[in-house]
Amino acid sequence: MDERGSREAFTRMGTLGIEEEYYVVDEHGRPTSGTDELVYDSTPPEILDGRLDHELFKCVIEAQTPTIEPDGDPRAHLLAVREALVEHARSNGFDIAAAGLHPLAKWRELEHAEKPRYRAQLDRIRYPQHRNTTAGLHVHVGVDDADKAVWIANEIRWHLPVMLALSANSPYWNGFDTGLASARAKVFEGLPNTGMPTAFEDYEAFDRYERRMVGSDSIDDRGELWFDVRPHSGLGTVEVRTPDSQADPDRVLAFVEYTRALVADLAARYEDGESGREGRRELYDENKWRALRHGHDVALLDREFESTLDLGEIVDREASRLGISGIRDLYDEGSGARRQRSLRREGGVAALADALRLD
């Protein structure tokens, strides 16, 4: 990966990219070391060529859609990538599963990847990275101006706990019930350069920060700034990294729809000269904590951080304001975390593992 990005990367508005992290599982639905076979030791389908890689653990894999044009169909691209990945995995004796954390993944029993980048991270970060069995959904939306992208990333922060609450799909970690709706969000926050970022004045301020982090050997490259949202200075996008991974593609597409609508709305506000909202990072962090703890049952601090609103009321307002429907469907369908607990209680770990597999 290039160490740094540049202002010149931000050239196009409204393109999309969807990155999903999955678990490679065996015939019993348990995470297993299969990424070498899938990524390095076999030829993937053409749509996955250059868009398939493993993550920190050998049981975690990432697949990316091609760049989706502003008038393109995200559903068609997402389903094509998923179908190719499942077929590729099954032809090598594996299945694919998705959740923010796999409930049967015990990090002490699983192998880390041998990729030099990850070995360097393990040596530098130690325990927090050694236990990082997380899997997330990342949505990229193209932005045609670097300063605009930074402003959008600042302003979208209030919406991230809404996404996290709706996506919360990881109550189990290392084999036990954490009591959280998204334990993934809390486990991942153990790494440096994660969580809710501070606001940056403009792209120059963000570039100085990125340059300082690389130049001081705090990170090896820009990709190690793992915040919940970031201006991606290599791809020219605003990248939202908040949601837990999802097995159901309709749930993924709801977050794609919401993210794309937010970026378009905020871009128009920036172009109209709107001032950014003030707010301490600690207040954004409070909303994130509430979301990962309570999921669909959360009450979040409002935009002014003066009172609270139930998630259902926020969803209704956002859906009406932006003219979207997917997040309403997500809310009405109920919590992924609650569903996981119900499946385990009624059918045991085998039923839970089966429910997380991709069709």
The pLDDT of residue 48? 96
Q: In this model, does residue 251 exceed pLDDT 80?
A: yes
pLDDT in the model for residue 2 = 60
Cβ neighbours of residue 4 closer than 8 Å, sequence gap 6 or more: 210, 211, 214, 221, 222, 233
pTM score over 0.85:
yes
pLDDT reported for residue 278: 84
Say what the pLDDT of residue 3 is.
Answer: 67
Lowest mean pLDDT among 49-58, 140-149, 260-269: 49-58
CA 137, CA 241: separation in Å to the nearest integer? 6
Q: Which residue has the tokens 């839970």?
A: 352
Average pLDDT value for the chain:
96
59 pLDDT more than 60: yes
> Taking the domains of the chain in order of start, what are their residue ranges?
7-355
Q: Please write the tens of the pLDDT for every residue from 181-205.
A: 999 999 999 999 999 999 999 999 9
Residue 327 burial (10 A CB sphere; 0-12, 13-18, 19+): buried
Summarised one tens digit per residue, pLDDT across range 330-349 is: 999 999 999 999 999 999 99
The sign of the dihedral angle between the CA atoms of 149, 154, 156, 160 is positive
- Per residue in 82-134, pLDDT (tens digit) is 999 999 999 999 999 999 999 999 999 999 998 999 999 999 999 999 999 99
* Mean pLDDT of the region 319-326: 98
- Determine the average pLDDT of the residues in 262-282: 95
Percent of the chain whose predicted confidence (pLDDT) is above 90 = 94
Residue 214 predicted with pLDDT over 70: yes
Across the chain, which distance is largest between two alpha carbons, in Å? 55
Own/partner pairs for 112-121, CB < 8 Å, 24+ apart? 112/56, 112/57, 112/58, 113/35, 113/54, 113/55, 113/56, 113/57, 113/58, 115/54, 117/1, 117/220, 118/55, 118/56, 120/220, 121/56, 121/220, 121/224
How many Cα atoms are found within 13 Å in the side-chain-facing hemisphere of 124?
13
CATH code for 7-355? 3.30.590.20
- pLDDT of residue 1 exceeding 60: no
Q: What is the pLDDT at residue 291? A: 98
Instruction: Give the pLDDT score at 209.
Output: 96
Given this model, what pLDDT does residue 4 score? 72
pLDDT by residue (tens digit) across 10-44?
A: 999 999 999 999 999 999 999 999 888 999 889 99
The tens digit of pLDDT for each residue in 169-185 reads 999 999 999 999 999 99
